[in-house]
Structure 1
């Protein structure tokens, strides 16, 4: 692993039988348990997103072989399947919740599969999982006007803080999309750091509001997972994804500029 560069793993659902909407970005419970065993066998040291950013901000050293385990959206399998595997190894992680999808009083509908409820989110937090924000309804934030962007960030921040009794420090951009305006709004709403996708290793020069992650999919076998956490061949693994992302970023920027005020 290249010194100063950290693999931030991005998971979504952990499910034996996911629906079609989440299948590609899900992993089976058995695969997730095996991947956590790989981290333990290779003596990697998981950190939360807040811990990594705080260390880089303060200049505190990282452990010799750091890694981050992150989950987006808030699918129920994170509690049912991922939490026991994390607890077995004493691993911390970060869960970024879409508050309007979490089952309970604030549910606005639109979730892609079975979601966590707030008692389960609290159990995850009690089990060493940092809870971060992922917007309220999971829109493409860079396509929103100022008022709706403010509402998405405010509701996510305030609902989660109220449910957990503690403020949020970290944020993940829905779909990985952001621009300077969105990153500034995330900072202004009190989040100290944020993660994107990027499918490359994170490093300090990216800045605290554009930390890149690597995607773990249902098709990620053990050999590929080992390459990801060692930082090997990531460019080749995600070459097509990165090319599509660059092209779509140009389209999105043009779409935003053409949209009426």
Structure 2
């Protein structure tokens, strides 16, 4: 392939639909990391109302065909190289760019990776990709795979935790999932290449450093309502999926009509389930004193141990709310892991007392959102403000520093009830989210996303950071 292909590699771009070059989500995104290369094919979803953010999402079907074809080509090269001619790489590049990917752009190569890539290409000294009887230099094979084939994204010690609440309870669409939606979710987990693991296994892996498989998922259910035992558990058993039910003791003790019984709860481990801990009531702890929060947790833990034979080690915050003071108090009780209700994937290095989960309800339970959520990767940050979810000012000053070597210019943030927020990037990694007016709701969620390529099925993946904030009554407008 020689100098001509090296020049193609340096200079090739793909024009967007309107003829402009843009720094959005390109067809290729080759980004470096401290651990080595990460090669991402980054497809974006089209923005229907913003012509200046058009992308290649509209040609994802054709792009997916290219991906499948390229995978076969590489397999063919590795197994039976005699079938391929010396012009295969050039032809594949020209085919992809000229025929199918006219709607996107080739994103930047970071300088470090470009230098390494250039060095590898230069090592060929102008020789063709295949030498002698079609022998392949190893770096040529690496180059073709890196540039043209969607390499599986590393799990990066992360997993997605799903949070359900009610099942088929149409009177509560804000917290219930329709049965047909739930069935679609389970089928997607079965057929979409996911690894559905017990929640404890994921937590143990994060704590011990043991690697997790890509697309690891845990299923959790909050509240132990009757629809859990009647609708969810039989389906989970049929699919063979492990799950965790976070139990609040008071509704069970009061024998509420909407609650599971202690007999139902005690039988969960025999059905592939495990029991997690909710405080004794379902009331959020955002504005509860640390001592009161501790008392509710202790009461629920004691009752669960009495009625089931064991005290849960994993905790979930009702409505995802817990001030820093409450978290600190609960830590003194010996709890090391707790789950909130902000969106995102769990990963090593996160605050283990406020791990994220994707909430699944009728409104947010369509299969498209489910596929996006279950394929999420972590967006690790540090120095996040406000540090406490219980706000002291309105509007809050929101900011964080993105860890790792990432192109933060492609980050987008959204505030519940407001849509896309204005974002300023300072110094390349510091992100400030600017709010132009006070928050109006007691509870507000922030979601920030960064494109992270596609999976083997051609579906987009995103790095995800979620945060939840609650306002004291005095700060509400």
- TM bin, normalised by shorter chain, reads 0.7 to 0.9
8 Å Cα contact 2:164-2:222 kept in structure 1: yes
Cα deviation for residue 50 of structure 1 reads: 2.0
The number of residues matched between the two structures is 245
Q: Distance in 2 between matches of 1:59 and 1:138?
A: 33
Look up the SS of the partner of 1:168 in the other structure.
coil
Match of 1:18 in 2: 170
8 Å Cα contact 1:74-1:98 kept in structure 2: yes
- Aligned: 1:231 with 2:376: yes
Cα deviation for residue 116 of structure 1 reads: 0.7
Look up the SS of the partner of 1:70 in the other structure.
strand
Look up the SS of the partner of 1:142 in the other structure.
coil
Q: Distance in 2 between matches of 1:224 and 1:142?
A: 28
1:221 to 366, 387, 399: 366
Structure 1: any 5+ residue segments left out of the alignment? 256-261
Q: Distance in 1 between matches of 2:313 and 2:283?
A: 20
169-178 vs 78-87, greater mean Cα deviation: 78-87
More helix by percentage = 1
- Aligned: 1:28 with 2:181: no
Match of 2:471 in 1: 251
**Which string of whole-angstrom CA distances, capped at 9 and with x for unpartnered residues, describes residues 189-221 of structure 1?**
333311001112222222321110111111321
Q: Tell me: CA distance 1:236–1:216, structure 2 relative to 1, closer, same or farther (3 Å).
A: farther
Q: Tell me: CA distance 1:144–1:225, structure 2 relative to 1, closer, same or farther (3 Å).
A: same
Cα deviation for residue 253 of structure 1 reads: 9.8
Q: Distance in 2 between matches of 1:76 and 1:108?
A: 11
8 Å Cα contact 1:193-1:209 kept in structure 2: yes
Match of 1:258 in 2: none
- Aligned: 1:181 with 2:309: no
1:170 to 314, 321, 331: 314
Matches within 5 A, 1:36-47: 36-47=186-197
Q: Which structure is larger by alpha-carbon Rg, 1 or 2? A: 2
Cα deviation for residue 63 of structure 1 reads: 2.4
- Aligned: 1:134 with 2:278: yes
**Which string of whole-angstrom CA distances, capped at 9 and with x for unpartnered residues, describes residues 79-121 of structure 1?**
111112211221111111111112xxx2286xxx711111111
- Aligned-residue Cα RMSD (Å) equals 2.8
Look up the SS of the partner of 2:206 in the other structure.
helix
Higher relative contact order (CA 8 A, sep 6+): 1
Q: TM-score, normalised by structure 2?
A: 0.47
8 Å Cα contact 1:108-1:137 kept in structure 2: no
Matches within 5 A, 1:92-171: 92-102=242-252, 106-107=253-254, 114-171=258-315
8 Å Cα contact 2:155-2:212 kept in structure 1: no
Cα deviation for residue 30 of structure 1 reads: 2.4
Q: Distance in 1 between matches of 2:471 and 2:376?
A: 30
Cα deviation for residue 245 of structure 1 reads: 3.3
Q: Distance in 1 between matches of 2:350 and 2:290?
A: 25
Q: TM-score, normalised by structure 1?
A: 0.83
Q: Tell me: CA distance 1:185–1:41, structure 2 relative to 1, closer, same or farther (3 Å).
A: same
Cα deviation for residue 249 of structure 1 reads: 3.0
Match of 2:207 in 1: 57
Structure 2: any 5+ residue segments left out of the alignment? 1-152, 380-410, 420-438, 447-466
Q: Tell me: CA distance 1:133–1:87, structure 2 relative to 1, closer, same or farther (3 Å).
A: same
Look up the SS of the partner of 1:120 in the other structure.
helix
**Which string of whole-angstrom CA distances, capped at 9 and with x for unpartnered residues, describes residues 118-155 of structure 1?**
11111223212121111111222232224422220111
Q: Distance in 2 between matches of 1:218 and 1:2?
A: 31
80-89 vs 145-154, greater mean Cα deviation: 145-154
Q: Tell me: CA distance 1:249–1:240, structure 2 relative to 1, closer, same or farther (3 Å).
A: closer
- Aligned: 1:87 with 2:214: no
